[in-house]
Structure 1
Amino acid sequence: MYSFSNEQFNRFFQFLKTLDCYNKTQAGMIEELTNFRNNPNRQIASFVCQNTKEPLTYRAPYIRILYVLRGSINIWIDRKELQYEAGCLVLANEWTVVEYEELEEGTTVLSFYFKKEYFNDSLLAQFAEEPIIYRFFVESIKETEENSYYFIYQFSANDDIHAYTLLLLKQIVKMRYFNNKVTKSAFVLLVVEISQLSDKGLCVKDSNLSSGVLVEEILAHIETHLTTVSLAETAEKFHFHPNYLSAFIKKQTSKNFSDWVIHYRLHYAEKYLCQTDLPIQTIIEEIGYQDKAFFFKLFKEHYQTTPGKYRKLQQHKTSE
């Protein structure tokens, strides 16, 4: 864990002031965001507000991250009033109304803004193992209706989140807000760290993320982890209670978790029987079963014959 001394912190902000990302007024933020909107070459922007003497109520129709570096703020998210201190991080989509005011001298708020085109497939792929964050960005990019999605975290000011936000800020302003690989790498580091600390930091979640996108992710996870998949492991990965996860899948697909595991395992068993000469015992192990008798019972219930007879029948059909 890395922490900044006051001397390092002050030197850092002196550097930022030379790069024109430092604001004290709402008018200044509106001007910067107008420049950002009108420049087609810019996909990401970052600004620092410190010692503003007024509530900041400007609209920013972008995917946003706000982070309180110092001090404390009153924040209104979709008109809900909350109070947070240094270490607070807000992740919001373009439809979320975010307003705030500083509560004490020296309060410093860092904000990042992203146009949708910033999130190309290669960048999103790097978040695939962070399911909640991944779904947030995917839905924020695809959403056409005016649905507000946001997450509010309260991290410790000593967490690595603090260092990663400053790293991303420095990289963005150093590159004069233009996109490059190092900037995206810094962004990925920040997002992964947010995800890793979610269990202890997530305070408020107001997200109606598409159930369809979520269930597709869950089914893909089941299919690609057939030999080791379990309800408990999958529930933990996707942040559900195990009982609720199975009920959620059934509501969306009419099959519960166990039904889908059986479906995929039998599907792959059928493919192995038809397309390979693997021994049946090997196939059983490849799809995640240990009990041969149990597998034979399931297979016969679904295909009305034994695996050996099914293989011979398919071989006979292809030879005709």
Structure 2
Amino acid sequence: MDEGIRKRLYHVNSIEKRQKETGQFIMDYPQKSFSNKNGNMNLLNEYFFKNKDIYISRHNRYADYPRHSHQFLELNYMLHGQCRQIIEGKEELLQEGELLLLDDRSSHSIKALGDDDILINILFRDQNINLEWLAGIKKRNSLVYDFLLSSAVEGNPMRKYIIFKSANIPHIQQILDQIITEYYRDEEFSTKMIALYLPILFTELVRKCDTYLSDEAKRIYSETNNVALQTLQLIEREYRDITLSSAAEKLGYNKNYLSNVIKQKTGSTFTELVNKQKILAANLLIESTHLPIQDIIEQVGFQNKTHFYDLYKKEYQMLPLQKRASV
């Protein structure tokens, strides 16, 4: 990141000076930027997006920020340090390099930040990007996500936020740095550039990041659900060559027990799940590359071309080349 922008982000502004002296929160936006209903501050579209579709700011330090909600999506990026937030009544720790995505109308409060805690707020009103959209993308390519969403429907509803564990993914950090740099430089076409970066950022997040869902599942799901989750994670990683016997050995379970749990929790056999992951992987290549179909079939681990076509048509109601042409 440009050193001038970095210094600007660390600079102590006038509101921060007063908050640091008193420890008391000082509202950083005018009265017209929010409404108060039942003691909850609701930040309004009309103020933040009067002249632009994206609004970026550095969160003020040294005082607790009160509980509030939004009419828009908010992305919190922990550029440096860490912060504690109460989100929908649950305390979460956002660590350096991680991102928090809050859906519209979700509420949160933020504990006081220290000198070295730099939290960047990215507000946007792109109606095409929301938690449902993210879940849809992930579900298309992930047995694990499909399983977790199904479990949510059965009684553990998905929360209105996602924490992305993005700290050790340089490409995502580079995209975020570029977004911040474009915003603060405010050069010709900067707004357009940021609008183009956002879907790239979220697609990368979905593709490369573990989200809160996996940790949440391990915390609240039953033992048998966790056995199923571990198996699905293994299938996602090793679908090309994995067998029931090798999975049971790696996970430390009896083969028959593992087979029964998988069938009970997912409604599919182990082999059916492996084939489904192969089809998901193949479809991603069909939609996003120009590789010959035969090469894709071999790459995802199918030995029988006819079997692949049968499974693919059953899943997508069309043949691979038809699917590629429809994208």
TM-score w.r.t. the length of structure 2 is 0.46
Q: Which has the higher contact order (CA 8 A, sep 6+)?
A: 1
TM-score w.r.t. the length of structure 1 is 0.47
